Structure 1
Amino acid sequence: MKRLLFALLACCVLALPCRAEAAGPSPGLLVPIIPDARTGHYQITVSDAEALTAASVTRSVERTGITAKTDVFVEYPLDVEHPQTYYVTVTAIPEADRIGLDAPASKTFPVTTGCCPGVEGAFILGDGSAADPYQVYTPAQLRHVQQHLDAQFVQKQDITLTGTWTPLGTLTGVYDGGGYSILELNTTDGLFSSLNGATVKSVNLVSPTVQGTNYVGGIAGTLALSNLTNCTVTSGTIYGDARAAGGPVFAGGIIGYSDSSTVINCKATGSVGGIANGAALYQGGITGHNIQSSYIGCLSSIIFLGAEGTSTHTGGIVGVLGGYISPITLQNCHWTAPAWAVGSGSNTGFTPNTGDSFGNSQVPSIDGLS
């Protein structure tokens, strides 16, 4: 009877779901153990097959002295790019003074990784919090960002895109590119449609093509109450065509339209332009149109492609200020063309905050500048 009682208790040691986890550089499963009163000694095994064979990949750990609910990390070579079912076996082992009175008992649980079972691109690692952001490895996982736009993310490797990309919507959370690259983006507004109260950092777009309508930029079409840091657009083609949609075009190497935001240490190279069918075109090396935003340590080397016959306002950093008078902060920014940092209503060359104290300048090349 005692052995049977122990076995029944041991079958309840796992009462909460396992989840994928990354402890340091190694992924694995976090297994919650709820002990019974008869033992504090457990063996936890993770396998890729329910029926263990010589070919099975398994990892085991033992923990003793467990007297309260405890999460035990089992290092395991998870597939971090695709959901997969693993099998967790928890074995309760009697302490030495219980041998002969109680017998070992175990239970096996299937665990399918991924934040959203059955959804392509489900995140395997992370929970979207600041302490444990979702980890992005593949194009499908990058696409899945649009299902959690208020969460936090970190990119873990270079990602090459194919075909036409639909912008990721309005980000209100945090996307950390980790210094890795996103290559061959081909889209309309930008990587994101817009950023609102968001933070984007260390994103590198390589050879993106952004061909949209009114608001176009490498990172996003519009930026509001947000922060961009250490982002680059290399060899980008950014072009807005608003002839069918009507209205002006706001085009920038990084952002089309910026409102009450901060852009720090961002860099853009390539071409920017558009055509607005008689309405204004605002084109800038970093941002097309600015309202009360700051640019610190930004660099641009852009060929501008504003269409003939369009009222065009061009600046090496910003195409135009809202109402031509909206406040702007420029510090230590450098650009290769035109001669002024910010275009004005008449394009006569309005460059605020120039001089040694602010360190802004037109330069022949931004190579070697940081």
Structure 2
Amino acid sequence: MKRLLFALLACCVLALPCRAEAAGPSPGLLVPIIPDARTGHYQITVSDAETITAASVTRSVERTGITTKTDVFVEYPLDVEHPRTYYVTVTAIPEADRVGLETSTSKTSPVATGCCPGVEGAFILGSGSAADPYQVYTPAQLGHVQQHLDAQFAQKRDITLTGTWTPLGTLTGVYDGGGYSIGGLNSTTGGLFASLSGATVKNMRLTSPTVGGMYYVGGIANVMTGATVADCSVTGANVSGSGSDVLSTGGIGGLVINTRFERCTVTGTIGGTAQVQLHQGGIAGHNTSSVYIGCLSSVQFSGSAVYAIYTGGVSGATENNASPITLQNCHWTNPAHAVGRAAEYGGNFTPNTGDSFGNSQVPSIDGLS
């Protein structure tokens, strides 16, 4: 008489959490398998319906030789924008020498995706760790970064924003733009982030942002402290602002302190209106002890101020006209010098810290406008 294969796996595997996962560009579910001693042969099926019909979307994988707890990835076209419930069926299959003595048995359980069901912009993939960053696909998910600013993020699609953007708070984690674009950024209170503190932003592409604000204004963040910004571009920018005192505007950051820029590019227009001083720079508005390596800027400046305007192809000004600034292999098309500085402190200058030069020596940079 045939007996059912004791389905320890089918009972236990679905008591453990399955989770949305991505293997390279493909999303799916990661299903933990706890094998029964009598078989290492299992089939795992994911479906969008508890009862499978011809209209159901299903994907299955079959594994043999499982002897210890094993996570099995089932590629599946998950909805990466919205939380959904899927159904995972695990079938324990008799080994070849037990066929006829035992028969297969299955168990189905629901699996809900989304870190915060019911919350707009909930992340479907990722846990926010370095090994498993939250994956950002939509404008709502980009906005949801605000709720996890100490986490790690990986953008997976081009994103187009609409309406007026409110800058995200202070990022202390890591945002990897993946080379995808963020377009339609339109803000009257600053850039994509309010500030970066010890954070890393890399591989980000801001296209045609229109950014305004007061005091410190930058395309990626208004203020950066102890941050790293690498392989980022802000193209076709319109960065400006107004200030009753001093205004600092930059293509990437407004005020940058102990921050490192690597291989960053800015094009567009930078300016603003200040009642006292205006600091306007291709990369940063105001610099304090920061490093710029392999950065390029090709921008027009359009600012005005009652007292003084300091303009630089890299940074508009430095702290107390003397803060350390390191340039290596940086180039800019406008103005003549990398950093703006008051005449009484020696005037505008280009630090002699690397093969960096601009203006008449660089009429254009590889097609940058």
- State the number of aligned residues: 365
Using the TM superposition, give the Cα deviation of residue 238 of structure 1 relative to its aligned residue in structure 2, in angstroms: 0.8
Q: 1:312 aligns with which of 309, 313, 325?
A: 309
Using the TM superposition, give the Cα deviation of residue 8 of structure 1 relative to its aligned residue in structure 2, in angstroms: 6.7
Point out the more displaced range, 267-276 or 196-205. 267-276
Partner SS for 1:329: strand
Query: Alignment identity in percent?
Result: 67
Is 1:115 aligned to residue 115 of structure 2?
A: yes
Residue 204 of structure 2 corresponds to which residue in structure 1? 203
In the alignment, is the contact (CA less than 8 A) between 2:5 and 2:92 conserved in 1?
no
Superposed CA offset, 1:121-171 (max 9, x none): 122222222222222111111111111211221212211110011111111
Residue 355 of structure 2 corresponds to which residue in structure 1? 358
List runs of 5+ in structure 2 lacking aligned partners: none
Measured in 2, the distance between the counterparts of 1:121 and 1:172 equals: 20
Measured in 2, the distance between the counterparts of 1:222 and 1:341 equals: 20
Using the TM superposition, give the Cα deviation of residue 369 of structure 1 relative to its aligned residue in structure 2, in angstroms: 6.8
In the alignment, is the contact (CA less than 8 A) between 2:167 and 2:192 conserved in 1?
yes
Residue 73 of structure 2 corresponds to which residue in structure 1? 73
What are the equivalent positions in structure 2 for 1:258-269 lying under 5 Å apart? 258-269=256-267
Structure 1 residues 51 and 310, CA gap change in structure 2 (3 angstroms): farther
Point out the more displaced range, 2-11 or 286-295. 2-11
Measured in 1, the distance between the counterparts of 2:38 and 2:123 equals: 38
Partner SS for 1:30: strand
Using the TM superposition, give the Cα deviation of residue 308 of structure 1 relative to its aligned residue in structure 2, in angstroms: 4.1
Q: Give the counterpart letter for 2:339 in structure 1.
A: V
Structure 1 residues 10 and 130, CA gap change in structure 2 (3 angstroms): closer
Residue 136 of structure 1 corresponds to which residue in structure 2? 136
In the alignment, is the contact (CA less than 8 A) between 1:126 and 1:133 conserved in 2?
yes
Point out the more displaced range, 285-294 or 77-86. 77-86
In the alignment, is the contact (CA less than 8 A) between 1:6 and 1:103 conserved in 2?
no
In the alignment, is the contact (CA less than 8 A) between 2:215 and 2:248 conserved in 1?
yes
Q: Give the counterpart letter for 2:197 in structure 1.
A: N
List runs of 5+ in structure 1 lacking aligned partners: none
Using the TM superposition, give the Cα deviation of residue 103 of structure 1 relative to its aligned residue in structure 2, in angstroms: 3.6
Residue 48 of structure 1 corresponds to which residue in structure 2? 48
Measured in 1, the distance between the counterparts of 2:25 and 2:243 equals: 47
**When the two structures are superposed, what TM-score results if normalisation uses the length of structure 2?**
0.92
Structure 1 residues 5 and 331, CA gap change in structure 2 (3 angstroms): closer
Point out the more displaced range, 308-317 or 201-210. 308-317
Partner SS for 1:14: helix
Measured in 1, the distance between the counterparts of 2:27 and 2:50 equals: 20
Structure 1 residues 210 and 92, CA gap change in structure 2 (3 angstroms): same
Using the TM superposition, give the Cα deviation of residue 223 of structure 1 relative to its aligned residue in structure 2, in angstroms: 0.9
Partner SS for 2:130: coil
Partner SS for 1:73: strand
Q: Give the counterpart letter for 2:320 in structure 1.
A: G
Using the TM superposition, give the Cα deviation of residue 99 of structure 1 relative to its aligned residue in structure 2, in angstroms: 4.2
Partner SS for 2:302: strand
Structure 1 residues 9 and 253, CA gap change in structure 2 (3 angstroms): closer
Measured in 2, the distance between the counterparts of 1:8 and 1:327 equals: 65
Is 1:297 aligned to residue 298 of structure 2?
A: no
**When the two structures are superposed, what TM-score results if normalisation uses the length of structure 1?**
0.92
Q: Give the counterpart letter for 1:189 in structure 2.
A: G
Using the TM superposition, give the Cα deviation of residue 267 of structure 1 relative to its aligned residue in structure 2, in angstroms: 1.4
In the alignment, is the contact (CA less than 8 A) between 2:164 and 2:186 conserved in 1?
yes
Is 1:126 aligned to residue 123 of structure 2?
A: no
Partner SS for 2:343: coil
Partner SS for 1:12: helix
Point out the more displaced range, 344-353 or 69-78. 344-353
Using the TM superposition, give the Cα deviation of residue 314 of structure 1 relative to its aligned residue in structure 2, in angstroms: 1.4
In the alignment, is the contact (CA less than 8 A) between 1:15 and 1:34 conserved in 2?
no
Using the TM superposition, give the Cα deviation of residue 189 of structure 1 relative to its aligned residue in structure 2, in angstroms: 1.6
Residue 90 of structure 1 corresponds to which residue in structure 2? 90
Measured in 1, the distance between the counterparts of 2:259 and 2:13 equals: 51
Structure 1 residues 8 and 294, CA gap change in structure 2 (3 angstroms): closer
Partner SS for 2:45: strand
Residue 12 of structure 1 corresponds to which residue in structure 2? 12
Partner SS for 1:283: strand
Measured in 1, the distance between the counterparts of 2:66 and 2:232 equals: 47
CA-atom RMSD, angstroms? 2.2
Q: 2:250 aligns with which of 236, 249, 252?
A: 252
Residue 218 of structure 2 corresponds to which residue in structure 1? 217
Structure 1 residues 296 and 7, CA gap change in structure 2 (3 angstroms): closer
Measured in 1, the distance between the counterparts of 2:55 and 2:78 equals: 16
Measured in 1, the distance between the counterparts of 2:54 and 2:204 equals: 43
